[in-house]
A and B are shown apart, each in its own frame.
Chain A
Amino acid sequence: MNIDLSKFDRFKVSFQKGDQIFCEYEPGDSFYLIQSGRVQIVKIMGDIEKIVDILHPGEIFGEMAILEEAPRSASAIAIDHVEVLEFNKKNFEILLRGNPQIAMKLLQTFIKRIYDQKRRFMILTLPDPQAKVADVFLMLSETQSAESKSMNEIVLNTNVDDLAHWCGLTTSECKQVINHFVTQRKIEIENDKLVIKNINDFQRFVNSRRKK
Chain B
Amino acid sequence: MPQVVKYKAKSIIYFEGDISDKIYILQSGKVSLISVDIENGQELREMVKTGEFFGVKSSLGRYPREETADVLADSVVMVFTIPEFENLIYTNPRINMQMLKVFSNQLRRLHKKVRSLMSIDEQTDAETGLFNIGEYYYKNQKFKPALYAFRRYLTYYPAGIWQGQATDYLIKIEKYPQGGAPAGSLNQKAQTGKKPSAPEEESKDSKLYYDGLGFFSQEKYEDAINNFRQYISANPDGEFMVRAVNEIGKSFFLLKRYDDCIKHFTGMIQKFPKHPDLPEFLLYLGLSCDAKGDKQRAAGFYKKVITMCEDGSEVKRKAKNALKTLGGN
Q: Please give the residue numbers on chain A whose beta carbons come within 8 Å of chain B beta carbons, in ascending order.
A: 10, 18, 20, 23-27, 44-47, 49, 63-64, 66-68, 70-71, 73, 75, 77, 88, 90-91, 93-94, 96-97, 100, 103-104, 106-108, 110-115, 117-118, 120-122, 124-125, 168
Closest partner residue, chain A, to B127 (CB atom): A25
- Asked if B100 and A91 sit within 8 Å, CB to CB, the answer is no
User: Smallest distance from the beta carbon of A53 to chain B beta carbons, Å?
Assistant: 14
User: Smallest distance from the beta carbon of A167 to chain B beta carbons, Å?
Assistant: 10
* A63: chain B residues within 8 A (beta carbon): 104
* A23: chain B residues within 8 A (beta carbon): 130, 133, 145, 148-149, 152
User: Given the known A-B contacts A45-B120, A107-B89, A107-B103, are A121 and B311 also in contact in the complex, defined by CB atoms under 8 Å?
Assistant: no
Lowest 4 CB-CB distances: which A-B pairs, in order? A90-B312, A25-B129, A100-B90, A96-B93
Instruction: Give chain A's interface secondary structure class.
Output: helix
- Asked if A125 and B38 sit within 8 Å, CB to CB, the answer is yes
User: Given the known A-B contacts A10-B310, A118-B110, A124-B118, are A100 and B93 also in contact in the complex, defined by CB atoms under 8 Å?
Assistant: yes
Q: Please give the residue numbers on chain B whose beta carbons come within 8 Å of chain A beta carbons, in ascending order.
A: 38-39, 56-57, 60-61, 63, 86, 89-90, 93, 96-97, 99-101, 103-108, 110-111, 113-114, 117-118, 120, 124, 126-127, 129-130, 132-133, 136, 140, 144-145, 148-149, 152, 156, 186-187, 189-190, 310-313
- Asked if A18 and B311 sit within 8 Å, CB to CB, the answer is no
- Asked if B60 and A117 sit within 8 Å, CB to CB, the answer is no
Distance between Cα atoms of A47 and B90 in the complex (Å)? 45
* B60: chain A residues within 8 A (beta carbon): 107-108, 111
Known: A24-B129, A25-B133, A107-B99. 8 other contacts (CB 8 A): A20-B145, A23-B130, A24-B133, A25-B129, A25-B130, A104-B86, A108-B60, A111-B103
User: Smallest distance from the beta carbon of A128 to chain B beta carbons, Å?
Assistant: 14
User: Given the known A-B contacts A73-B111, A96-B97, are A125 and B89 also in contact in the complex, defined by CB atoms under 8 Å?
Assistant: no
Partner of B189, one of A18, A64, A70, A117: A18
Closest partner residue, chain A, to B56 (CB atom): A111
User: Smallest distance from the beta carbon of B229 to chain A beta carbons, Å?
Assistant: 30
Partner of A93, one of B93, B103, B189: B93
- Asked if A103 and B93 sit within 8 Å, CB to CB, the answer is yes
Closest partner residue, chain B, to A168 (CB atom): B118
- Asked if A121 and B100 sit within 8 Å, CB to CB, the answer is no
User: Smallest distance from the beta carbon of B306 to chain A beta carbons, Å?
Assistant: 15
- Asked if A97 and B93 sit within 8 Å, CB to CB, the answer is yes
* A49: chain B residues within 8 A (beta carbon): 136, 140
- Asked if B86 and A122 sit within 8 Å, CB to CB, the answer is no
* A118: chain B residues within 8 A (beta carbon): 38, 110
* A24: chain B residues within 8 A (beta carbon): 129-130, 133
* B118: chain A residues within 8 A (beta carbon): 45, 124, 168
10 contacts between A and B (CB under 8 A): A25-B132, A46-B120, A64-B107, A67-B101, A68-B105, A96-B97, A107-B60, A107-B100, A107-B103, A111-B61
